[in-house]
Amino acid sequence: MLGQMPTAQLIAILKSSGPAQAVSLLLSMPAERMAVLSAMLEPAAIARMLVLAPGDRRAELLATVPAERVPLVLRELSTRRGAALLSLFPTEWVEQVLRSAPPDQAAELMSAMPQGVGSRLLESMELDSSDELASAVYEQAAMRSVARAAVQVSQLDDNACDLLAEVFGKRLRICVRYCATEAMLGFAVYHAATEVSWRGVAGIVIVTNVALTDDVALIVENARSLGRTLEVVRWADERDDGVFKRALVRLAG
């Protein structure tokens, strides 16, 4: 009987029902009807249903949502819960979802996936250096490295990945800069040396993914000659944590 109702009427019933009843009703529909209904429901409503749906049917429910709308639904859930849901799906579908999501959200979801799943997914996506998702994934990983090496870490700027961290009682500004080219790194280092505020910090560390060039070394040397304590560290992954920590010690020592 319900399955034969007009779609608009069913949507009204789902919206007026309690979350548990709405879950039961939606999951009782044929797969094709579920897809139509979930495409018309607000992301927040679907998220509530996902939380209350039986564990073995959550993936079935999320699969009815068009891939491009899934990031909106996952935004209503905790990152860890959303990552756990995505981990249940085939790689190709998850890639499509992540490509539809804002880079920061996609990077957070990948970092919260079970160990090894996120890294394998990143490899399968074959991101190039200019990809915004590659930049977001790098920034997330670098920020975790900062948190492992320092205390009282806080983010200074939402538009740039700038952090304030305390090391041996001294405050250091850490600028994470993902660069697609060496020229971009030169600009980032020059900007940090000349434009970023040094007020209240003992020094600045720039963490980057590309190899340091002679031009970068010259910028650092000039900054130091003006009394500005500046370090540039190439960091690729957690295997470089030791190099990063030694730079912090040099600045704070």
Kindly list the domain boundaries of the chain, sorted by start residue. Answer: 1-65, 138-252
Q: Is residue 118 predicted with pLDDT exceeding 80?
A: no
143 contact partners, CB below 8 Å, separation of at least 6: 153, 155, 161, 163, 176
Instruction: Assign 197 a pLDDT band (cuts: 50, 70, 90).
Output: confident
DSSP 41-87: S-HHHHHHHHHHS-GGGHHHHHHTS-GGGHHHHHTTS-HHHHHHHHT
pTM of the model: 0.74
How far apart CA 131 and CA 103 sit, in angstroms, is 9
Q: Is residue 18 predicted with pLDDT exceeding 90?
A: no
How far apart CA 188 and CA 194 sit, in angstroms, is 10
* CB contact at 8 A, 204 and 173: yes
> What is the mean predicted confidence (pLDDT) over 202-226?
91
Neighbours of 75 (CB within 10 A): 15
Axis crossing angle, helix 132-149 with helix 241-252, rounded to the nearest 10: 60
Distance of CA 20 to the CA centre of its chain: 31
How far apart CA 83 and CA 114 sit, in angstroms, is 8
Strand, helix or coil at 174? strand
CATH of domain 138-252: 3.40.1350
Supply 93's token pair.
Answer: 């579908």
Instruction: Assign 70 a pLDDT band (cuts: 50, 70, 90).
Output: very high
Rg (CA), the chain: 23
Which residue from 199, 218, 207 is spatially nearest to 246, judged by alpha carbons?
A: 207
- How confident is the model at residue 3, as a pLDDT? 56
Instruction: Assign 158 a pLDDT band (cuts: 50, 70, 90).
Output: low
Instruction: Assign 36 a pLDDT band (cuts: 50, 70, 90).
Output: confident
